[in-house]
Amino acid sequence: MKTQVYERLQQVTRRGLARVEKLFDAAFGARANPLYYLGTLAFFFFWVVVVSGIYLFLYFDTGTVTAFRSVEYLTREQWYIGGVLRSLHRYAADAMVLTMMLHLLREFALDRYRGKRWFSWVTGVPLIWLVFFSGVNGYWLGWDRLSQYVAVATTEWIDWFGIFGQPIARNFLDQASVSDRFFTLLVFLHIGIPLFLLALTWLHMSRISRPRTGTPRPLVLGSLAALLLLAFIKPAVSQGPADLNTMPAAVSLDWFFLFVYPLFDRWGYGAVWALAGGLTLFVSALPWLAPRKAEPAAVVDPPNCNGCGRCFADCPYGAVVMQPHPDKPGHQLAAVNPDLCVSCGICAGACPSSTPFRSAAELVTGIDMPQLSIHALRARLDAALAQLRGPARVVVFGCDHAADVGALREAGVATFSLLCAAQLPPSFVDYALQDGRADGVLVTGCDGADCHFRLGNTWVEQRFTHEREPHLRTRAARERVRVAWAGVADVERLRKELTAYRRELRLSTVEPSNEEPTRNSGMECAVNE
C-alpha cells in the first residue's frame, strides 16, 4: 500500500511536469529545455555566485561599521559594476535554490532515486543544507536591519537546544557586544562552506560516468541575461544599518532562503526544528520507504567476451570494469559490479557479439540482460516479422521509460519495448530490413536531452550516424530508418510521427538492398528530433 501511494504521487507529479516540459519544449526546443538541465543549471548558478562574490569580497570591509558602509559603496557609488554584481550574486543564489529544489522534485517524479541510485539521492540532501547555510550566512555580512533580524532569529533558534553554556543570542544584545572579529569569522564561513559544498558535489556525482556539468550555451546566455535584467529592474539593496539597541519593526525577506523565519513566531523554535529535521530524515529515507523490486544486473559470458571494452565505455554508471582474463594471458574480460548496475541494458547494445545474424540456435552474447536477453529479442522479432502484413510494414523499438510503444501496435506495425533504447544493437535494424521483411524501422525513447539512463539517447544517435561502435551498417535509403524521441506523455505525438513515416514509406520507391548486411557499406540514417 505504501509503495502504491508513492507511485501514485510520482505519476501525478510526472504528469504535471510533463505538461510544463511540453510548453518549455515549444518555447526553447528539446535541446535547450531548462527542465532537462536543472542539475547543471544549479551548478552554473553556483559559479555565477562564486565569480560575483570574489569581486564583492575585494571591496568588503570586515567591521561592525565598515561592513555596511562597504556594501553601500558597492551598491550606490559603484552601481554600474559593484551594484550589478551584488544583485547578480543575490539572484543567482536564489536561482540556485529554485533549480536545486526542482531537480530534487523531478528526480523523485521520474523515479530516479531508488535502487542503485540511492547514493546520489542521499548525498544530495546535505547539499541542500549547505546551500542554505551559506545563503543565510551571506545575509549576515551586509549588517543591515535584515542582517540583524536574521542573526538574532538564527542564534535564538540554535539556542533552543541549550547546548552552549551561554546563549549565543546574548552576543547581539547591544552594539558593543559585536566585534570586528565576528565579521572575520562570517567571511571565513562564507568562503569555507562553498568549498565544502563543491567537494560534496563531486561525491554526489562520483557514481556516474561522464557526469554532465556543462549547460547548453543558449541556456547559459539566456539565464545570465535574465539575471542581469532582474538586477537592473529590481537591484538588491540594504535595509538600513543594523542597530542592536532597537528591534527591526519590519524587514523584507528573501523567500528563497528565509522562508522558514516567519514560522519562528507562529510555531516556535522547537516546532521548526522538528519540521526541518523530520523533512530531512524523510527525504533521506525515501529510497527505502518505498523500495523497488531489484532488477537483475547485467551478466558477462566469458567465452563470448572478447575484451573490446565497448560495454565499459558506454556504461552510464561505471558498473562495468575491465579486468585481466583468467584464462587468456594478455586479454581483458568485462566484469559487472551489481551494486552499481541499474539494469539499463546499454552494455548489451554495445557488445559486438549481440548480433542476430549469428547462426547459433542459442544466441549467447558477451554481456546480456537476464530479463530481456538478445536471444529472446531475436526470437520475438522473428515471430513479429513473420506476422507483418500490408503496405509500409514498420518495426518500432521503444523504451520502457518513454512513450508506450505498445499502444502503436497494429497489423502493419510490430512494437518492442526495451529496457533502454540503447539496449538495441544496431544490427537488429539491418536484420529487420533484411530481404524486405520490414519496410522501415522506427526507434524511439525518452526525450532527446532527458534519457532515463542519462546517455542512452546519445549512444543511439552516435551509433546510427557512425560516430560510435557498433554502428548501423545498412545501405538502405534514409527513409528506411528513423529516430523520433518521445517522452511518457508523448504517445499521440509519436503516433502521428509513425503515421507520417508510414505514409512516406508508401510513397517511397526505394528497393531493399541485396548487399550482405554485415558488411560496412556506408549507411545513411535520418535522425529526427
Q: Is 223 exposed, middle or buried (0-12, 13-18, 19+ CB in 10 A)?
A: buried
Instruction: Dump pLDDT digits (tens) for 440-470.
Output: 999 999 986 789 999 999 999 999 988 999 9
Residue 513 has pLDDT above 60, yes or no: no
The pLDDT of 355-363, averaged and rounded, is: 90
Sign of CA dihedral 163, 166, 170, 176: negative
**444-477 residues labelled b (16+ CB within 10 A) or e (exposed):** bbbbbbbbbbbbbbbbbbbbbebebebbbbbbbb
Local confidence band at 275 (pLDDT 50, 70, 90 cut-offs): very high
What pLDDT does 517 receive? 42
What pLDDT does 212 receive? 83
Please report where in the chains the cell 523500495 appears, as a residue. 291
Instruction: Dump pLDDT digits (tens) for 195-233.
Output: 999 999 999 998 888 888 889 999 999 999 999 999 999
Residues above pLDDT 70, as percent of the chain? 94
Residues 420, 377 contacting (CB under 8 angstroms): no
Residue 292 has pLDDT above 80, yes or no: no
Helix H, strand E, coil C: the string for 84-146 is HHHHHHHHHHHHHHHHHHHHHHHHHHCCCCCHHHHHHHHHHHHHHHHHHHHHHHHHHHCCEHH
Architecture of domain 2-289: Up-down Bundle (1.20)
Cα 366 from Cα 314, distance rounded (Å): 14
What pLDDT does 520 receive? 35
Could you tell me which of 458, 484, 494 has the C-alpha nearest to residue 349?
A: 458
Q: Where are the domains of the chain?
A: 2-289, 299-528
Sign of CA dihedral 44, 190, 130, 232: negative
Q: Greater confidence, 229 or 24? A: 229
Q: Tell how many helices (H) and how many strands (E) occur in the chain.
A: 17, 9
Local confidence band at 425 (pLDDT 50, 70, 90 cut-offs): very high
Ramachandran assignment for 75, one of left (phi > 0), alpha (psi -120 to 50 degrees), beta (any other): alpha
The pLDDT of 488-517, averaged and rounded, is: 77
